[in-house]
Structure 1
């Protein structure tokens, strides 16, 4: 513990700027993400790479879905690639912060926490052609319910997903008040633990309304897990970026360059295209630019994530 504290102190003393990053990281170039360590001796170049994907839904779904992609990376990089199914967003961020994850897919809100507190460097996102995948924040109710506007939900059972979720918790705190519904005042958010659980909870009558991501709802409808006609959408936000793919800031730059090449030359399988709404491949992103709207929500939110 003393050694870690000393290294953190030295890093902070040598860093000219950190921005919103934790003190263990530096952002001298001002691009909002952690810089590569100045000392090449600290660059990691492991022969076995461990990665994970955001636990938006059942982790087992993605473990199977990404098998072909994982094998592609093994061939392309000439290294062993291990997919690790994390059970929570907090666990995924902690795994990268501690060095157990070398790269990972993070959902929208947690991307910011992963950047600031785990040294994640987003470099790719899913897309069609040259267009990045996006989603909207939805407020859904049962189609047979009496609720027509957000203001109607005061005092009712409203589901949020988790403290780090942009669409399931953070954005509603910023957007809903102007529609006459203030989270924490007009209702107590009930944390469901996931978008799929919120959606099923509304369908089953456990919640009167839920704030969810539009892309998750669409996937569940396409899988036959719920019926579109079972819901009514009473609020819809503007477009947000969806999950990012990020590498640890201290990976060797040659490895990062090869990893990017392998990501960008992979074409999604038919199963991946179906699961991700027609997305075909990975596209390069700029965290500074593409996550600006998400950072704005987090800066304005009244109940910041517990990090």
Structure 2
């Protein structure tokens, strides 16, 4: 699987993406998204995600479900955070459930594609890759009690650096997380190119940290001059006292994007996929480690989403960056 990023030379205004109302523009992106899907999958209903195979012999009904959360600096912390939910998932499905501590976005994508991952949360920018190349079927995200959801991309630096505004990134260093990350790469790349005329590795030096945690700690420790990160991760690290507000300075905050999407591998049996969905929507957060952790970013429940609707803006950002998927 290869993800291609091509040169993009037309104006693209990141701040107005969430209010785009030109249906035709989104239709073009939807057609591109459908064309990008691997030939291993079929999308007969046009919802841009892989159908459950019509041939029952292709269905998978594992004794043990493998679950993975997005890559973080210390996966052991999140094994504990997710433990109660995974017990609930086991009760709902009658399966053993195992937490898989992935070390990188690439490792998580490959595990899904190879059939070693059954239930997962993929980061915002990684969802289109998982959908097109791994047959991922996202159906839920975390939301606040009032149903609101999402996070912003922030560009941060350390106090006393020579970077006081986005313009100051010219000639300096900016850390990204990974090429598939929305807030960690694609959104800031589109912003810097369209609004400030800056190209990565031409107008500023780049580094890839592997995760938002690493980028944030890299800035705090002055390993990176600046970094583009998801502020949901930033807020959780503040709440755990991993960092302090005085450790960094934010010089840019974007519009709101959808957060991590949770879903299933496309070829699990229909009954099992329904049981997994019901487990997410019936989970009682009260008094759990999951609530304690994600309340730090304002999240308190799982709500239904569709890839076709809720990832419109993310597909548009990818399209603006010239991203295509060579999944086969």
Partner of 1:271: 289
Whether 1:280 aligns to 2:296 is no
Per-residue CA deviations over 1:76-120 (Å, capped at 9, x if unaligned) read: 221111111111111111111111111111111111100010000
C-alpha spacing 1:72/1:231, structure 2 compared with 1 (3 Å)? same
Identify the match of residue 261 of structure 2 among 228, 244, 259.
244
| CA distance, structure 2, for counterparts of residue 27 and residue 167 of structure 1 | 28
Query: Where in structure 2 are the equivalents of 1:180-191 lying within 5 Å?
Result: 180-191=197-208
Partner of 2:180: 164
| CA distance, structure 2, for counterparts of residue 190 and residue 87 of structure 1 | 17
Partner of 1:11: none
Kept in 2: contact 1:43–1:250 (CA 8 A): yes
Look up the SS of the partner of 2:214 in the other structure: helix
| CA distance, structure 1, for counterparts of residue 34 and residue 181 of structure 2 | 24
Per-residue CA deviations over 1:263-301 (Å, capped at 9, x if unaligned) read: 100022442223212422211111100111111111111
Q: CA deviation at 1:19?
A: 3.0
Look up the SS of the partner of 1:81 in the other structure: strand
C-alpha spacing 1:45/1:132, structure 2 compared with 1 (3 Å)? farther
Look up the SS of the partner of 1:189 in the other structure: strand
Partner of 1:3: none
Q: CA deviation at 1:60?
A: 1.2
How well do the aligned residues superpose, as a CA RMSD in angstroms? Answer: 1.9
Query: Where in structure 2 are the equivalents of 1:1-307 lying within 5 Å?
Result: 18-177=34-193, 178-268=195-285, 269-276=287-294, 277-301=297-321
| CA distance, structure 2, for counterparts of residue 280 and residue 192 of structure 1 | 29
The answer to which of 225-234 and 272-281 deviates more is: 272-281
Unaligned runs of 5+ in 2: 1-32
Look up the SS of the partner of 2:35 in the other structure: coil
Kept in 1: contact 2:36–2:325 (CA 8 A): no
Look up the SS of the partner of 2:46 in the other structure: coil
Could you tell me the TM-score, scaled by structure 1's length? 0.89
Unaligned runs of 5+ in 1: 1-16
Look up the SS of the partner of 1:273 in the other structure: helix
Could you tell me the TM-score, scaled by structure 2's length? 0.84
The answer to which of 184-193 and 97-106 deviates more is: 184-193
The answer to which of 139-148 and 32-41 deviates more is: 139-148
Q: CA deviation at 1:306?
A: 8.2
**Number of residue pairs matched by the alignment:** 291
